Amino acid sequence: MANEDTVRRCTEASARIRREILKMTYETGNAGAHIGGSLSMVELLACLYLGCIRYDPQNPCWESRDRVILSKGHAAMALYATLAEVGAIETEELITFKKDSSRLGGHPSLNGLPGIEFASGSLGQGLSLGVGTCLGLRRKGNAESRVYVFLGDGECDEGSVWEAAASAAHFHLNNLVAIVDVNGIQYDGDTNEILNLNPFENKWRDFGWKTVSIDGHDIGSILEAYNYVGERPLAILAHTIKGRGVSFMENNWKYHNASLTKKLYEQALEELEVAK
C-alpha cells in the first residue's frame, strides 16, 4: 500500500501541474498546444517523479539516475510542468513554452533542459531508445537504474513499437518499464476505430512482458505498479481520460491539439479549483 504522505504529495502536485498545463496552452495563443494528452498523463508523471524515481534535479547527469523517455513527445507540457514541480527548472520558465528562444519546445529537445534524456516526438521511436539505453546500462555494469518510456495508445499503431517490445523481452530487460497512456483517442479520432489493437494487454503479454492494467488517475494504483520489480520488462497500461479535469475537454478529440480563449481558460481553471 502506498505511503499516505506520498499519495498526498502526488495528488497536490497533480493539481498544480494541471493548472500549469492550462496556463501554458492559453499563453500560446492561436498556436495552440497538445493539451488533451498532456492532461491525461499528469498523475503518471507526478507519481513517477515524486513517488519512486531515482533522480536528482541538482545533478541531472548523475550516472545512477533512472532515465525517462517521453516517446509521446507531444505531451511535453506535462513533463515540463512536472520538472518544475520537482525543482529541475523554475516555474517561471513554463510561461516561455513554444516562444522564440525558449528551451521549452512543443516537443522535448536536447537544448540544455535538465531531465530531458532524448529529443522525442517522432512517434514509435521511444521504446527502441529505451531498449538501447537498457543495453547500454547493462554494458556499463549498472543494473540498478530503470528506464521509463511513456507511450500513447495511438502510437502503438507503429510497427517499430512491437519490434522494440520483442527485443526487450529477448534481452531480458527487466529494468525497462513502458507506461502506455491508454486514453482511447488519437489525432484522428477513437483509437479502436482507426486501428483496433485489442486485446491490447494480451499483445504485450504475448511479446514476453509482465503486464498490468491500472486506472491511470489513481495515485495508489500507479505507485504500486511503479514499485513492481520482476524478471521481465514491465508494461503498465494506464487507462486514462483525455483532457482529464476539464469537462469540455474530456474524451473530446478536438482537444488533442487546441488553443484556449480567455473564457474557456477561466472556465477550465474554475473547474479545477472546484474539484480540489
Res 275: pLDDT: 79
60 cis-preceded (ω within 30 degrees of 0) = no
Non-local (6+) Cβ contacts of 248 within 8 A are 255, 264, 267, 268
Picking from 79, 69, 21, the residue whose alpha carbon sits closest to that of residue 45 is: 79
In the chain the beta strands, taken as DSSP E runs, fall at 67-70, 147-152, 176-182, 185-186, 189-190, 210-215, 234-239
Residue 207's pLDDT band, with cuts at 50, 70 and 90, is very high
pLDDT digits (tens, 9 = 90+) for 54-98: 999 888 889 999 999 999 999 999 999 999 999 999 999 999 999
Name all domains of the chain by residue range, CATH numbers in brackets.
Answer: 4-275 (3.40.50.970)
Residue 1's pLDDT band, with cuts at 50, 70 and 90, is low
Question: Is the model's pLDDT at 102 over the cut of 90?
Answer: yes
| Cα angle: 83, vertex 152, 97; to 5 degrees | 35
| The most confident of 54-63, 183-192, 239-248, by mean pLDDT | 239-248
Res 239: pLDDT: 98
Res 172: pLDDT: 97
When pLDDT is averaged across residues 22-48 and rounded to a whole number, the result is 97
The full length of the chain comes to: 276
Residue 113's pLDDT band, with cuts at 50, 70 and 90, is confident
Distance CA 180, CA 200 (A): 11
Residue 117's pLDDT band, with cuts at 50, 70 and 90, is confident
Picking from 72, 60, 89, the residue whose alpha carbon sits closest to that of residue 152 is: 72
Question: Is the model's pLDDT at 44 over the cut of 90?
Answer: yes
Whole-prediction pTM value? 0.97
Picking from 81, 120, 265, 253, the residue whose alpha carbon sits closest to that of residue 183 is: 253
Distance CA 250, CA 198 (A): 22
User: Measuring CA to CA, how many Å separate 83 from each of 47, 89, 115, 213?
Assistant: 12, 6, 7, 26
When pLDDT is averaged across residues 131-143 and rounded to a whole number, the result is 95
Percent of the chain past pLDDT 90, that is, above it, reads 91
